[in-house]
Amino acid sequence: MVLNIAFDNSYARLPEKFHVRLDPTPVAAPRLIRLNAALAREMGLDVQALAGAEGLAMLSGNAVPDGAEPLAQAYAGHQFGGFVPQLGDGRAHLLGEVVGPDGRRRDIQLKGSGRTPFSRMGDGRAWIGPVLREYILSEAMHALGVPTTRALAAVATGETVHREGPRPGAVLTRVADSHIRVGTFQYFAVRDDTEAIRTLTEHAIARHFPAAEGPRGLLRAAVAAQARLVAQWMALGFIHGVMNTDNAHVGGLTIDYGPCAFMDGYHPETVFSSIDAQGRYGYANQPQMAVWNLAQFATCLLPLMGGDQEAAVGEATEMVHEFAPLYQQAWLDQFRAKLGLERAEDGDATLIETLLGRMAQQRADFTRTFRGLADGTARAEFAEPEAFDAWAGDWRARLAREGREGAELDAALRTANPAFIPRNHRVEAAIEAAAAGDEAPFNRLCEVLARPYDDQPEARDLRDAPRRDEAVHRTFCGT
């Protein structure tokens, strides 16, 4: 065996009811589309071996490496507010966990790797559209500094998957600090299995918040992590699109990249997802939806909180409500940094909101406007540049009070405002090209997005906002 991976599978050691053990379903003709060598090295994996025949066999699900214990995880979830007591991995297999040289424990999971007892009507497969989409988006989020699941590899299966029509099949290898969702807790809560919730609580604490104590400590930590996470999404113009509780990660990672998207022109009511008819998961609703999810999480933990349940409800409610001040602070921190501000002043929220308001009125491009603060090109993003100029006067006065200017200010602005985001029209074009056999645009996107804060003049075209006829307004789960 060249592939010598030191698996240590803590989730597989949990009681049987947490999962169903089964191997991935082999595919016809696997071919590596892309391997994330940097991530492989972080994990202490042998890049050569992964890129070779045995690696490909593992990454496609055609062989189970020594030490892996493939399983499908059980979970439930609220989908658009409606509770489904059993969802689970219907097209994913957790191969196991590895602890990297950095001491970090990570799941290695195949997605699109065949049917499981949780598949319901699904075929257990994925086509290259969502696979490449998740690869691009999750790796871009990582490079942007946002906690997220990662992409280790994308493999073409050589098989056809049927969606709106025939599509080329693919498998994504997803890496994450865990795959524990609010829905994992809900799965046991709805079954009144307090013992399992206790076990899962300990497991989640060990994996995400080792300093936390008991259900209260876990809840407090999860609330804080979600508040920070959503503030980061907002500061990047990112819309998750399907913030169902099965897609809400207890450790505060971005997970399950479906119809998610980065906004081009800014408007707080922006919704991309084709399945989100009510706009439940639109940009501006994300903080509230995170609170809603955390309230579901808190409800699961109540039986562990002991004593008088009414008192426990009151206490849990208070802890969930801690989200608002934590989020507000994180949001202010994020947007202050985007304006090049280091210190806090009372009028800062107004200064930020005034800019956002004017951007919304004119659909100024979110990413280009903020990056343009450093480049002096922000005003050009406004149909009526005077709207920007009026605000910029206040901004400059505010900056003057901090005494920050010149190269120092520029550097600060560039660190807080990316030049590159995975723009929808580019992601769609890369997928289309890959489906037609040309993976170059996909590979180029991945490489440029690995350094989103660098200027990269040779990639100038990828900074452009879409032309009217290029803009993508709808994104699809496409599972």
Q: Is 89 in the site for ligand AMP (CB under 6 A)?
A: yes
- Interacting residues of 436 by C-beta distance below 8 A, sequence separation 6+: none
Residue 264 site contact among ligand AMP, Mg ion, none (CB < 5 to 8 Å, cut-off depends on kind): none
| Closest residue by Cα to residue 404 from 352, 342, 351 | 342
First to last CA, the chain: 34
Q: Is 110 in the site for ligand AMP (CB under 6 A)?
A: no
State the minimum distance, in angstroms, from the CB of residue 247 to Mg ion: 4
How far is Cα of residue 360 from the mean position of the Cα atoms in its chain?
A: 25
Structure tokens at 411: 């550097």
Structure tokens at 59: 């990454």
In the bound complex, which residue of the shown chain has the CB atom lying closest to ligand AMP?
122
Q: Is 125 in the site for ligand AMP (CB under 6 A)?
A: yes
Where on the phi/psi map is residue 57: left (φ > 0), alpha (ψ -120 to 50), or beta?
Answer: alpha
Where on the phi/psi map is residue 403: left (φ > 0), alpha (ψ -120 to 50), or beta?
Answer: left
| Closest residue by Cα to residue 185 from 199, 170, 171, 164 | 199
Q: Is 124 in the site for ligand AMP (CB under 6 A)?
A: yes
Toward ligand AMP, which CB reaches closer, 54 or 89?
A: 89
Toward ligand AMP, which CB reaches closer, 242 or 359?
A: 242
Residues paired with residue 176 on neighbouring β-strands, in sequence order: 107
Toward Mg ion, which CB reaches closer, 247 or 293?
A: 247
Residue 122 site contact among ligand AMP, Mg ion, none (CB < 5 to 8 Å, cut-off depends on kind): ligand AMP
- Interacting residues of 369 by C-beta distance below 8 A, sequence separation 6+: 266, 355, 359, 378, 381, 382
Q: Is 119 in the site for ligand AMP (CB under 6 A)?
A: yes
State the minimum distance, in angstroms, from the CB of residue 315 to ligand AMP: 31
Residue 89 site contact among Mg ion, ligand AMP, none (CB < 5 to 8 Å, cut-off depends on kind): ligand AMP
Restricted to residues 246-275, the positions that interact with ligand AMP (CB under 6 A) are 246-247, 256, 258
Gap between the Cα atoms of 64 and 405, Å rounded: 57
| Closest residue by Cα to residue 51 from 176, 154, 157 | 154
Among 15, 81, 117, 122, binds ligand AMP (CB under 6 A): 122
Asked whether 390 and 326 are in contact (CB, 8 A), the reply is no
State the minimum distance, in angstroms, from the CB of residue 124 to Mg ion: 14
Stretch that binds Mg ion, among 62-70, 223-231, 246-254, 327-335 (CB under 5 A): 246-254
How far is Cα of residue 217 from the mean position of the Cα atoms in its chain?
A: 24
State the minimum distance, in angstroms, from the CB of residue 113 to ligand AMP: 10
Q: Is 247 in the site for Mg ion (CB under 5 A)?
A: yes
- Interacting residues of 438 by C-beta distance below 8 A, sequence separation 6+: none
Stretch that binds ligand AMP, among 120-128, 353-361, 394-402, 432-440 (CB under 6 A): 120-128
Restricted to residues 286-325, the positions that interact with Mg ion (CB under 5 A) are none
Q: Is 292 helix (H, G, I), strand (E, B) or coil?
A: helix
Spot the catalytic one: 89, 107, 177, 246: 246
Active site residue 23: no
Q: Is 85 in the site for ligand AMP (CB under 6 A)?
A: no
State the minimum distance, in angstroms, from the CB of residue 350 to ligand AMP: 38
Q: Is 89 in the site for Mg ion (CB under 5 A)?
A: no
Among 54, 97, 139, 256, binds Mg ion (CB under 5 A): 256
Among 23, 123, 159, 322, binds ligand AMP (CB under 6 A): 123
In the bound complex, which residue of the shown chain has the CB atom lying closest to Mg ion?
256
Stretch that binds ligand AMP, among 88-96, 365-373, 379-387, 460-468 (CB under 6 A): 88-96
Q: Is 90 in the site for ligand AMP (CB under 6 A)?
A: yes
Strand ranges (DSSP E) for 105-189?
105-111, 126-127, 150-162, 166-176
- Interacting residues of 102 by C-beta distance below 8 A, sequence separation 6+: 42
Specify the residue for token string 């097209």.
91
- Interacting residues of 104 by C-beta distance below 8 A, sequence separation 6+: 42, 177
Stretch that binds Mg ion, among 149-157, 245-253, 383-391, 441-449 (CB under 5 A): 245-253
State the minimum distance, in angstroms, from the CB of residue 256 to Mg ion: 4
- Interacting residues of 460 by C-beta distance below 8 A, sequence separation 6+: none
| Closest residue by Cα to residue 36 from 146, 174, 198 | 174
Q: Is 276 in the site for ligand AMP (CB under 6 A)?
A: no
Toward Mg ion, which CB reaches closer, 88 or 466?
A: 88
- In which element (H, E) is residue 20 found? strand 19-21
Residue 88 site contact among ligand AMP, Mg ion, none (CB < 5 to 8 Å, cut-off depends on kind): ligand AMP
What residues make contact with Mg ion under the rule CB under 5 A? 247, 256
Indicate which residues carry an active-site annotation: 246
Binding site for ligand AMP (CB under 6 A): 87-91, 118-119, 122-125, 242, 246-247, 256, 258, 477, 479
